Structures are given as structure tokens and as C-alpha cells.
Structure 1
Amino acid sequence: MKKVLIASFDMEVGGVERSLISMLNNFDYQNYRIDLMLYSHTGDFMNLLPDQPNLLEESAAYKTFRMSIGQILKSGNISLGLVRLMAKYKANLSTSSEKGYKQMQYMWKYSLPFLPKHKEQYDLAISYLWPHYFVAEKVEARTKIAWIHTDFSTVDTDERVDIQMWNKFNYIVAVSEECKNAFIQKYPSLEKKVIVIENITSPDFVRALANEKIENRMLNDQRFKIITVARLSYAKGIDNAVKALKLLKDRGYKDISWYVVGYGGDEAMLKELIKEQNLEDSFILLGKQINPYPYMKEADLYVQPSRYEGKAVTVGEAQILYKPVLITNYTTAQSQVRNKYDGLICELSIEGIAKGIEKLYKDYKLRNRLTDNCTRTNYCNNQELEKLYQLI
């Protein structure tokens, strides 16, 4: 049997984590032995991991990447705590409005001397989430693959440092053709390494969970219900969604409600924004939910208001549940929906989101057509794993 290592951060609720679970559920375990390295054995999705992969023991050093600087210092990892402080200081020198990517880069880069090497050797090692330093520097494997889930043309990274890391890999996997093109635009020298393997989707799994009985306040809401499932962060554009709903209310669309399943660092800001816009009864944050699908099933429309994406897992899941979908025209949008066939792409702006919703709200024939086309489309793509097997 071929030996494969897959490494990621944890199993907190998120699209990347759901795509990892789908991959693990569909892997060929007769021909491949899978070791799963999670830096931290935390997250509500831990219970969703299949039994076949061998979950490796947690490493105290790698667990620090999911800890605060204060927690690291208290745990006695003084060197790693000081490294984190240095990374934060250097990232803050950047003029970027979103410094988190550079901070994470430096945090990993400077931590390398203090991190243990992985002892076992593999035929294939996969780093499933950026930055990919563990597999790049601490694992021995005949073939190494790094996965990219986001649009790298939109994020501010230290490109010189990043190139050094990417060059440690034989292949770089993008989750869509547009995601690949955006990456090559930023790193043209890496073009020959980049291939596309889409996120594995499991329609039967999604539809089964959508029928789970839960307490769902949407059931008693007779308004036109919008749903978004996303991290509460700048990238996902939830602040623009709040402002778009305010525009619609001001234009007389009083019977629209918008629900968001998700959590993240922008929660306090969004709650304040919702209050400022007097939308407490209409824009409703449902928080972290292990199973978002009953909420998606109950909605009239799924909206993805993102500023950038690689390929949003939740959009495909909404289509699996036969929902009309509206997404903003982020760089990789064309890989997500076939515009006016199984979804609608709107301008990436507050006004664009409002107009897109207005169009779908008023045109029930268009909504029905999008829904019908979703029912005719087979969103199962297990065959994507064959591309991965060919690389081993």
C-alpha cells in the first residue's frame, strides 16, 4: 500500500474542513494508507472524521499555532512565544489593511528551528492549508503537494518568502481553474507545478444532513429568507451584505430577512453595524452551527457576498440542495456557477448585491429556472480523486 500523509490545522467549522472531510470519506483505502496530522485536535468537526485515516498524536509544538501568544508563553514554549511576537511586529510594519497573512507566514518561517521533524517517510505528503511549512520542511516524502483554497491575487503575502516555500513542493493543487489562474498571475514562475483538483462534494451526505431535525427559527419566518454560510471575516463580505439589505429595506422590500450561519473575528463589528442600520429583526446572525444544511434548506435564496474566494464549498452545497444562488463577481466566480443557468453573478458591490437580490426576489420564474437546472446537474465529483492518485 502507498503511504500518504495529509496535514491541516484543526477541525473547526469551516469550508476547508468540510472539503477535507469529503476527501477523506471518498479516499481509496484499499490501496492507500492515510496518516492525518492535525496541529490541534480541536473543533466541532472532529466527530465527523471517518475511521479509516490514522489520526496521529497531537504535537505540543505544532498545537501552539492555534494558541494565543499569552497561552504559548504560559505553556512554557518561550522560544515559540517570542517568535510569534517577532512575527506580529514584522507584519505590523506592512501597509496592508489585512496583515494576518504576512503574520502567519512569518510565524511559521521563524518557528521552524524550534519545530520537530516528522519521523515517518511517505510516498505522498499533502499540506492541505497554507502556509505549508510543516510538509515543506519537516516531512520526508517522494512527492509533496500543497493545496490552495483562496484567490492569491487578492491577499497580501511576502512573495519572496512564499516562493521559497512553494519551491519545496512537486505540485500545487488549486480548487478551481480560476483559482489556478489567479495564483499563476501572482507567481508566474510556478506555473508548471499548478494543477486543478476540485473540492470533493458528497450530495447524499449534504441532503441527508439537511433533513436532520433541529431547532430552526427560520421555520416560523414567513418572509423571503436569504441564507449565507460563511466565516465572519473581511473576505466573506458580510458587512456589505448588511448594507445591501439596508438598501433593499429603504426601497420598500420590508418582507426580506437575511440569516448568516458562521462565526469569526468580525462578529462584534457586524453586530454593531446591524444595530446602526436598525436591522436587528431582519439581519440575523445564527452563530456557529455544526450542521448548516437545515438552515440552507429552509431558505428561498443563497447569497455569497464575498470579496474573494478560491471556490466556496457552501455555494456548491446550496446548489446540491436545489437553491437559487447569487454570488458576487469575485475573481474566481466563473468557476463557481454558470451565470443565469444554475446561479446568478452580480457586481461585487453593495449596490450590486442589492440589485441581484431584487432581481431574484421579483422574478420567481428565474428563481425556478435556476432551481430546475440545479436538479438536473450532478454535483458529485468523486472522480477528481483520480487526478490525485495519478500524481503518486
Structure 2
Amino acid sequence: MKKILFVINTLGRAGAETALLELLRRLDAEEYEISLYVLLGQGEMISQVPQRVHVKNKKICTASVLSGAGRRKLIQTSFLAFFRHGRTIKKMQYVIQNFFRMKKTGNIQPDKLLWRVISDGADRFSETFDLAVAYLEGGSAYYVSDHVNAKKKAAFVHIAYGNSGYTREMDRDCYEKMDQIFTVSQETRRHFLEFYPEYEKKVQVFHNILDTDRIAREAQLPGGFSDSYTGIRILTVGRLAYQKAYDIAIPAMKKIREDGYEARWYVLGEGSERNALEKQIAELGLQEDFQLPGAKENLFPYYAQCDLYVHATRFEGKSIAIQEAQTLGCAVIASDCAGNREQIVDGEDGLLCTLTPEGIAEKVEELLDDPKKRERLAAAAKQKMNGQTEEIWKLLNLMK
């Protein structure tokens, strides 16, 4: 029986983690011995890992890394990683050197700085795997590259690399040791190859796998919007993070209301930007109109019940949220950026907008004025998702 190890940074409620869980569900337990190692040892989606998958962590903290308890656990893990397996001074030198590189660019991202330290301080396993898969950039890629014994190694890239904050100095040639690199879209592949042109022959597109039948079933379960609002509902799903550009969506909602439209915008997710966004919402008097209900375990009833899905982000790899919205027949508006434009044919199965308050508001108002166009775009999006293809053999063929 072939032995496969998957490594991921956390199992928080996010797109890459959702895609990994679906991939794990598809693997044949009678043919493959499947293991999973969560680098930080935490994440609220651990309960969704299939029972046949062997979780290598001795303990898993189920608190989200975005919660108070989760952040405390994250700090503890990062601190201990400096001292596990020795080389403490070298780890500190790595952090300091890359901190000053980040400072020069004006883009300091502490989480990116610590992935190498966390990887070097993580558990080690003596067994040899037939295939080891780093399912995210950063920590899991460093860990599989440097600390896993495997006959074949693969890495997934889910982001537009140029916008991610990673650098070649931080990566330290980790991708050199990978037999195959999978990107989740053509745009993601192009961005990655701008950083690593020498790996063109081993970079392949691997589209996220979605179980459209399961999504449709879970959309019918109890849940969804619980307020008494009866007007137009706009939905966005995603972490409360800078990448997701809610600071631009909020004034867009202000303009929509000033233009006389009756609608309410809901954002499902948690993140470090919550306090700043709540302050911005209050300053614009949008407490009722732009709401942050937090993360939800079953998102699908919300998609099914909304009138319009908006995904106006600064950059993307390939958005699981857009795919879920399309699967459930939502009319989608997305910002015209890498990743998003690969998922939407403007005017055929969704609309693309410029990432400004005026650009977002214009497209939202266009669809609020034209219910028939909303229906047409939604139907085309759903048809598109029903035609997705199986990707899993791209990965499994590495072991042949």
C-alpha cells in the first residue's frame, strides 16, 4: 500500500483547507495509507478530516488561529520552535535578515518570517513516504522540502506569488527539492514562474476539487440568515484581511445606499482586520447595512439565500468562495484581478469590476436594476461548475 503524507500550515476555516479536505475524501483508503500533519497543530476544521486519515499530530488545538485562544497557542508554538532541534542562533539570524529585507520593501509580514522557524521546530518522522505533499506555501513547503523522507515530493501554490510577501531568500530553494509543483490556476502558475522561471517544466495547474453534490445537499440544511430583513442580500465570504479589500467594499456600500438602493451586505469570516473594519463601518453609519456576522460552520445556506455574491479582492490564487457561489447558482461580481478573472467570463457567467468604491457600486447597482440579468449570470455560473473535471490523477501519477 502506497504511503502519502499531506502537510498543511493550519486547518483553519479557509479556502485551501477546504480544498484539501475534499481531496482527502476522494483518496481510496484501500489503496493508499494517508497521513496528515498540521504544522501549527491547530485549526477548527480538524473534525472534518476523514476518519481513515491518520493525523500525525499528538495533539490538535481546535481554536481558530484568529481567536484569542488560538493566537496564544500560535505564539507558544512559535516560541518553542526557536528552541526545538537546536540551531536557535541560525533561526534568529534568518528572521532578522528577512525582517530587514521586508522593511526595505515596506511590506512587513510577521507570519511569513516565522514559517521557517516553525518548520525547523516541528515534529520529525523517521518513516519514508511514497509521496509527501506540501499543500500550502511557506511552512509546509519548507517542512516537506527539508524534514520529510519521501520518494517523491510535491508542493501546491494557492496564491499570486508576487503579492504574497514570500521571497527567494525566504524560500531557500525549497522548490528545487520538489518533483512537481501544482498551482491552482493558470494565473497562479504565471505569477509563480515570474519568481521561479527555472521550474517551468515541473509546474502544472491542479484545479481545486469541489463536491458539488455535497454542497447542494448542505445548502438545504437548516441555517443561513437569521435576521428578519426581507430586502436584497449581498454576500461575501472570506477572512477579514487586507487582501480581501473590505476597506473598499464598505464605502462602496455607502455609495449604493446614497444612490437610493435598498440592500444589506453580509461578510462571513473572521480576521485581524475586524476592529478596523467595525470602526470604518461605524464612521460611515453603516451598522445595519454592512454586517460582519463572523465565521460560520455551514456557509452553503447563506449562498443559497443571497441575491448577489461579491468578491472584490486585491489579489487571489483561485477562490474557493467564488466556486462555491457559482455551484449554488449565485450571480457573482468580482474585482478584475489575477485569479478572479480566470474564474469569471465578464458578462457571460458573472461581472468583473474595478477595485474602487465607485467600480464595485456600479456593478452592484447594474444587477440590482436588472433581476433577469442576475438570473442569467447565475444560471451560466452553475452550468460552468457542473462541468468541472477530476484532477486527482495528476497527483497520484507521481508515484507511478
- Provide closer, same or farther for how the CA distance between residues 215 and 389 of structure 1 changes in structure 2, counting only shifts above 3 A: closer
Aligned to 1:146: 155
Counterpart among 62, 72, 76 of residue 72 in structure 1: 76
Q: Pairwise mapping of residues 13-52 of structure 1 onto structure 2 (< 5 A)?
A: 13-52=13-52
Q: Pairwise mapping of residues 1-392 of structure 1 onto structure 2 (< 5 A)?
A: 1-58=1-58, 68=72, 71-72=75-76, 79=83, 90=97, 92-93=99-100, 94-100=103-109, 103-110=110-117, 114-131=121-138, 132-162=141-171, 164-214=173-223, 216-218=225-227, 220-253=228-261, 255-379=262-386, 381=388, 383-392=390-399
Residue type of the alignment partner of 2:149 = E
Residue type of the alignment partner of 2:338 = T
CA displacement, residues 334-379 of structure 1 (integer Å, 9 cap, x when unaligned): 3212222221111122221111111111122211111221343343
Is the contact between residue 19 and residue 199 of structure 1 (CA under 8 Å) also seen in structure 2?
yes
Secondary structure of the residue aligned to 2:239 is coil
Residue type of the alignment partner of 1:49 = V
Q: Cα offset for 1:197?
A: 0.6
Residue type of the alignment partner of 2:31 = N
Is the contact between residue 77 and residue 118 of structure 2 (CA under 8 Å) also seen in structure 1?
no
Q: Cα offset for 1:148?
A: 0.7
Is the contact between residue 78 and residue 117 of structure 2 (CA under 8 Å) also seen in structure 1?
no
Q: Cα offset for 1:190?
A: 2.1
Secondary structure of the residue aligned to 2:334 is strand
Is the contact between residue 180 and residue 203 of structure 2 (CA under 8 Å) also seen in structure 1?
yes
| Range with bigger deviation, 105-114 or 317-326 | 105-114
Q: Cα offset for 1:259?
A: 0.2
Is the contact between residue 136 and residue 165 of structure 1 (CA under 8 Å) also seen in structure 2?
yes
Residue type of the alignment partner of 2:309 = Y
Is the contact between residue 316 and residue 379 of structure 1 (CA under 8 Å) also seen in structure 2?
no
- Provide closer, same or farther for how the CA distance between residues 250 and 74 of structure 1 changes in structure 2, counting only shifts above 3 A: closer
| Range with bigger deviation, 265-274 or 116-125 | 116-125
| Range with bigger deviation, 370-379 or 297-306 | 370-379
Q: Distance in 1 between matches of 2:225 and 2:295?
A: 13
Q: Cα offset for 1:177?
A: 1.1
Residue type of the alignment partner of 2:147 = K
4+ residue runs over 4 A deviation: 65-71, 73-78, 80-92, 110-116
Q: Distance in 2 between matches of 1:364 and 1:107?
A: 48
Secondary structure of the residue aligned to 2:76 is helix
Q: TM-score, normalised by structure 2?
A: 0.88
Q: Cα offset for 1:88?
A: 6.0
CA displacement, residues 312-352 of structure 1 (integer Å, 9 cap, x when unaligned): 10101011110101110111223212222221111122221
Q: Distance in 1 between matches of 2:78 and 2:203?
A: 41
Q: Distance in 2 between matches of 1:3 and 1:123?
A: 5
Q: Distance in 2 between matches of 1:23 and 1:76?
A: 31
Is the contact between residue 136 and residue 169 of structure 1 (CA under 8 Å) also seen in structure 2?
yes
Q: Cα offset for 1:260?
A: 0.4
CA displacement, residues 254-313 of structure 1 (integer Å, 9 cap, x when unaligned): x11100000000000000000011100100001011111111111100000110000010
Is the contact between residue 12 and residue 43 of structure 1 (CA under 8 Å) also seen in structure 2?
yes
Q: Distance in 2 between matches of 1:124 and 1:157?
A: 25
Is the contact between residue 98 and residue 156 of structure 1 (CA under 8 Å) also seen in structure 2?
yes
- Provide closer, same or farther for how the CA distance between residues 115 and 49 of structure 1 changes in structure 2, counting only shifts above 3 A: closer
- Provide closer, same or farther for how the CA distance between residues 200 and 111 of structure 1 changes in structure 2, counting only shifts above 3 A: closer
Aligned length: 385
**Gap regions ≥5 residues in structure 2:** none
Q: Cα offset for 1:27?
A: 1.5
Is the contact between residue 83 and residue 107 of structure 1 (CA under 8 Å) also seen in structure 2?
no
CA displacement, residues 169-210 of structure 1 (integer Å, 9 cap, x when unaligned): 111110011111111122212222210111111111111221
Q: Distance in 2 between matches of 1:73 and 1:42?
A: 10
